Structure 1
Amino acid sequence: MLQEARYFPNSPIFLCSFLGFFLFQAVVSQIPLGSKLSVVDNNLWVSSHGDFALGFYNLSDFPNRFSVGIRFNSKSIPVNQRTIVWVAGADVTVSNNSYFMLKENGELVLVDSSLGITVWTSNTSQVSVASALLGDDGNLVLINEKKDVVWQSFNTPSDTLLPGQTFSAFKTLRPPSKNSVSNYYSLYMDVMGQLQLRWESSIIFWTSQSPAGSNLSAVLASDGRLQLLDQSSEPVWSVFGEDHNDIVKFRFLRIDFDGNLRIYSWREDSQSWKSVWQAVENQCDVFATCDQRGICTFNSSGSPVCQCPFNSHLESNPKCLAPYYQHCSSGSAMLEHRHMVLYGIYPSNDSIFQTSLEKCKEMCRENPSCTAVTFMNDGSAQCRMKLTRFISGYSYPRMSSISFVKTCLDPKAVDPIVPKNSSLSSRSYELCVSCTLGAVLGTFVIFGALQFVIGFRIFKRREWEINGNDDNLPLPLFNLLL
């Protein structure tokens, strides 16, 4: 999904901003101290050639919440394709009475007027800012009287890198918080100069595989290359988009909601953005692609889909959890799934051992906390044990792996999601009531019979003692009943 889904191009706020630019042609190369943008005024700061614009946009699912950011603004790009490339404060949103301002002290501030607080600031009041400038490279800069850049938006990226923008050690790109999953993804550069796609902070599911080095920086070149440069600006690692060296005016690199990193190019012929490279070619290899919705696989058209092989309730229940509850009264069984890799999500740390297939399976069976296990039959002999019901994974026919999912043999635990008011539940309840009544009646009958036999035996014994008839001893059964 492209970034245009993050705002509403048909909203009155957006259209007024867009039309206002063409009505007034308010192209301002220098932005003086005291300049102000507001949601109410629908005004924009526009780069000198009009390629980029800074203003308020509705980026959330709530109609009265706004963010301030930079987007493409070229006349050659339709309004609904003008992608956002930078957002002040990333996920910060404000009310419809808010404003963004370059204060007289040289500080950029985003103020939520309804709360009366500053929710984001550039913290530049002490660096002698003289004015601001939005360049046609998409970079918002603050400059001093000597025209030196003292702050720039390129140094505080949100989810996107533009051509010429550098990305150095310890910086992070993160998708907006569109859902509970996207919050956990990030692109990070470690101290050794490796680009890493991460889930949370511990799971690394893609790296640039570049040679280690200090002071490396990543940059997206105008010709479509993503490179790692050393201190001499010499490339030590590169990847190329499919349109490398083609004449393309606009490109960008972005980490998307689905956790993948992609290079996009603007295609004039189709009037759309096209992904020309992505870091993880197989989307199912992106950690937690399906989150709690099942196992990632591919449909007949080659698109990734999430399926739940553990139960049949995925449509009515968005979660696909491991079916083992750790309290099985009748024991457990290990269900085999070939060509499938499973991993725990919450928590995301699996216990990994090197052992045989059978021992891997037995270790999970004997561990009361184990819900599933995957044996990698690729020569590594890795046994990956999961201690959580929150598991996901991926499956394709060529995978050299076997997974075992623990399930309870107890009928009540096999299908735990059946509603209490369903016909199956009602019949089970009626059956249990009938069994209970039968057991109670049977108990009363047996108890009454025993009481009769014992009473009769006592009566006869006394009669024998009175008559002195010791020869007629009671039967052994009656002795046992005394």
Structure 2
Amino acid sequence: MASSYFCVIVIFLVSLPFSLAQSNGNIGIDSSLTAGDGQNPWISASGDFAFGFKQLQENEFLLSIWFNRIPEKTVVWHANISTNVILNPVLSRGSKIQVDASAGLILRDPRGVLRWHTDSIVSDASRAFLDNTGNLVLFSRENTILWESFQYPTDTLLPSQELEIGRMLISRRSEPNFSQGRFYIEMEEDGNFITFTKDVPNNRVYDNRYTIAETGIESNPDNPALKVVFDDSALLSVLRRNNQTTDIGLPFVLTNSDYYHRITLNFDGVLTQYYYPRSSSGNANWTVAWSKPDNICHEFIAQLGNSACGYNSICTLNDVKRPGCNCPNGYSLVDPNDEYGNCQPDISQSCEKSDRGSSAEHIFDFHILNNTDWPISDMQAISPSSEAECKNACLNDCLCSVAIFRSLSCWKKRLPLSNGRIDNSLDSKVFLKYRKSDAPSLRPGPQVEASRKGVHDCRTFKLTMSLLLGSSVTINVLLIGTGCLGFYLIYKKMITKNTGGSNSADVNLRCFTFIELDKATNGFKEELGRGAFGVVFKGVIPFGFTLAVKKLDSVAKDTEREFRTEVNVIGQTHHKNLVRLIGFCDEGENRLLVYEYMRNGTLASFLFGDHRPSWSQMQEDSVICMKNVLNQSRTNTGIRGTKGYVAPEWFKNTQISTKVDVFSFGVVLFETITCRRNLNDMEVGGEDEFFVLTDWGWDCYQNTLESIQENASSRPTMRTVSQMLQGIVEVTNPSFSAYT
């Protein structure tokens, strides 16, 4: 028994120095860690940082340093880019890191093959040390620094870390992939702190670069830059040889004692400073303090290679200035798992031998995007050009895949397209060419996904039942058929409910979810105008399509059947001078109408604004997008329409007919001719009086008033009105008795 106690005491005493060593960040010679064997990592004295094998997947590990007290264990350094020995940082179970007196840190895979090591200058190491700043240091027997991780950064800087001339930050391949990425940040000898890209496979440096210009760094022979410093107060600055500094980031009031800080070159090329509260109980997230560039989609243009998104992709910026990438319609990701990768056309866009003898119009057509640009990849510029000429130029050119029309100029482009981005200041149209015989459909919405889910579930059900009842083919067939039919009917019902049935589908309207429209309008933030029954907001959906979203007031929310009927009728109305209904939302109390966006404003702003059109302009055959004031309902219940445009019979107990639309049209036509509002306050003789345009017009006895007769039977049909405007039918004088 005594010997047993003695053994326990010996074991305790032997292990005590090692335990104490770990408590103060020291790691002794011959200390080692093995991936996947359950060993604890080496911890700094404060417990803030850890060094060891961070598990990525079941059998994948990363030799790294990470924030130890943060639940997500954010990596700040890893054995990868500091030397070219290890190109893929992912290690398998059984890999081993050891502190060696003659070679420093040595990393071997499970077969004993050397994967990575510290510099060869290390020859008399006495210990390793992980300090409270996150810096892993090798000391000699004389206690001098032989090697430190701060001198060989990967993609992150920590407070008290410096980036000297010639040292770089290198982004990872993607968020979960720690392999070498495309973006680099370097302090140059001329004092410029720059971002640039490389072709990773052959290590070729591209000429494109982004200078963090806000720093004011300039080449100054008398006072050259020395290094970039991320100091203890979490401020990034450039230190010059005379100890003057130039700030790069923002002065930070959140101290390093209360918050963790890091500056990371993200995989998408955005250099960002983050902070995280030390006192968090685990429910906090990294918060962005600042980032550069402000808009990488616009400010970083790669002449060779690409910027944040892959070839043929479109870059958009989110709320924290990070880019998102989307393939345009007719294109899909080469690698479905890499949303920042390249997009490829789903079908061929070039001419084929079989096309000979057919016109280009019969073979090709275009998908149209607004305010989108690929600023390089031009094959031809045409100026001046009309929109039609631009389309035809690309349509009849076998090498042209995309045409961009802007400011009376046309740019024909060939694939691949690079540096794609959304830019609402462009006022441009993009024509994406596709072959009609293989026309790609629009991106699948929720209804299509539900349908696919139904098919998937049916197959799963089918497989399960086959396994359970494999002894009887007949029973299998019956049960499988019944099961699939049931799933089909259920999902068909779901799809019908979401899309409003076959009627809505027939008019090609999209059924939006309320969440989609809330996101598109940024929480219904930018108001465009107000109508009789709702407010119209500006919205943008993926790929840059701008919409006008009308959020109906509660007083305008009919029963579901009435709402769907009106949507169906309006959706069938198509005319170049009328705003087109694109879709709708019908979710409980949330009922919204989605229209195309009128980029040049409403007819009202054109007619009643400060710069009203002249009579000669009004006579021109121009296309004017008219606001929606016409009523599409046929009912005796409830007044429909906008105040001032509503026909008198709505206020009487009489039958409502198509003539109510004729009255509304007459009011709009009269407003167009006079450039006056139908209902307005005006000052007459020093007093404010209410002004009704139709009453004033009757006094002036204008022929156009035949459309706005109070007696519906006296009004012409809409067809006759159209013929009058075209000069086909003579304009007759309105009946005085009919109006009065």
Query: In which range does the TM-score fall when normalised by the shorter chain?
Result: 0.5 to 0.7
Are the aligned partners of 2:159 and 2:262 in contact in 1 as well (CA < 8 Å)?
yes
Instruction: Please give the alpha-carbon distance, in whole angstroms, between the structure 2 residues aligned to 1:237 and 1:228.
Output: 6
- Contact 1:321 1:391 (C-alpha < 8 Å) held by counterparts: no
The aligned residue for residue 212 of structure 1 is 218
Aligned to 1:192: 190
SS at match of 2:428: strand
Tell me how far 1:219 sits from its aligned partner: 2.0
1:109 aligns with 2:128: no
Q: Distance in 1 between matches of 2:274 and 2:38?
A: 32
**Does residue 371 in structure 1 map to residue 397 in structure 2?**
no
TM-score normalised to structure 1 length: 0.65
Could you say if the C-alpha distance between residues 302 and 237 of structure 1 is closer, same or farther in structure 2, counting changes exceeding 3 Å? closer
Distance 1:298 1:63, change over 3 A: same
**Deviation by residue 1:118-140 (Cα, 9 ceiling, x = unmatched):** 10011335553332221111111
Contact kept, 8 Å, 1:325 with 1:413, in 2: the verdict is no
1:273 aligns with 2:286: yes
Q: Does 1:71 align with 2:66?
A: yes
Judging changes above 3 Å, is the alpha-carbon distance between structure 1 residues 337 and 184 closer, same or farther for their aligned structure 2 residues? same
358, 371, 396: which one pairs with 1:339? 371
| Aligned equivalent of 1:428 | none
Shift of 1:339: 2.1
Indicate the percent of aligned positions where both proteins have the same amino acid: 22
**Contact 2:317/2:323 (8 A) holds in 1:** yes
Q: 1:291 corresponds to which residue? A: 310
User: Which amino acid in structure 2 is aligned with residue 202 of structure 1?
Assistant: Y
For the 8 Å contact 1:293–1:307, the answer to whether it is kept is: no
**Measured at CA, do residues 215 and 368 of structure 1 come closer, stay the same or move farther in structure 2, by a change above 3 Å?**
farther
Instruction: Quote the offset at 1:235 in angstroms.
Output: 1.4
Match of 1:156 among 143, 152, 157: 152
For the residue of structure 2 that corresponds to 1:412, the secondary structure is: helix
Structure 2, unaligned runs of 5 or more: 1-17, 82-87, 199-204, 301-305, 444-740
Q: CA deviation at 1:163?
A: 1.0
In 1, the alpha carbon distance for the partners of 2:325 and 2:150 equals 36
Unaligned runs of 5+ in 1: 1-22, 344-348, 419-482
State the Cα distance separating 1:308 from its structure 2 match: 4.5
Report the secondary structure of 1:37's partner residue.
strand
Once the 2 structures are TM-superposed, how far is the Cα of residue 245 of structure 1 from its aligned partner?
Answer: 5.8
Q: CA offset at residue 406 of structure 1?
A: 5.1
8 Å contact kept, 2:140–2:146: yes
CA contact (8 A) 1:106 1:130 kept: no
Partner of 1:395: 422
The SS at the match of 1:197 is: strand
Q: CA 1:372/1:207 → structure 2, altered by over 3 Å: closer, same or farther?
A: farther
State the alpha-carbon separation in 2 of the partners of residues 94 and 103 from structure 1.
Answer: 20
Count of aligned positions:
379
1:154 partner SS: helix
Work out the CA distance in 2 between the residues paired with 1:375 and 1:243. Answer: 48
Structure 2 residue corresponding to 1:325, chosen from 349, 366, 370: 349
Matching residue's letter, 1:83: T
Worse-matched range after superposition: 245-254 or 116-125: 245-254
**How far has the Cα of 1:143 moved from its partner?**
2.0
1:15-73, CA deviations, whole angstroms, 9 ceiling, x for partnerless residues? xxxxxxxx9673244323222122225132222222222111113xx311211111123
Report how far residue 252 of structure 1 moved.
0.6
**159-168 or 302-311: which moved more?**
302-311
Query: Amino acid of the residue matched to residue 401 of structure 2?
Result: T
Matched-pair contact (CA < 8 Å) for 2:374–2:417: no
Indicate how the Cα distance of structure 1 residues 203 and 130 shifts in structure 2: closer, same or farther if over 3 A, else same: same
Q: Which residue of 2 aligns with 1:411?
A: 436
How far does residue 240 in structure 1 lie from its aligned partner after superposition?
A: 0.6
Q: d(CA) in 2 for partners of 1:125 and 1:193?
A: 29
Task: Give the corresponding residue for 1:135.
Answer: 131
SS in 2 for 1:120: strand
Task: Tell me, yes or no, if the aligned pair for 1:290 and 1:296 is still in contact at 8 Å.
Answer: yes
Q: Does 1:232 align with 2:242?
A: yes
1-structure distance, mates of 2:319, 2:67: 36
Higher RCO (Cα < 8 Å, 6 or more apart):
1
Q: Is the 8 A contact 1:154 1:166 kept in 2?
A: yes
AA partner of residue 52 (structure 2): G
Contact 1:108 1:124 in 2 (8 A): no
Amino acid at match of 1:280: P
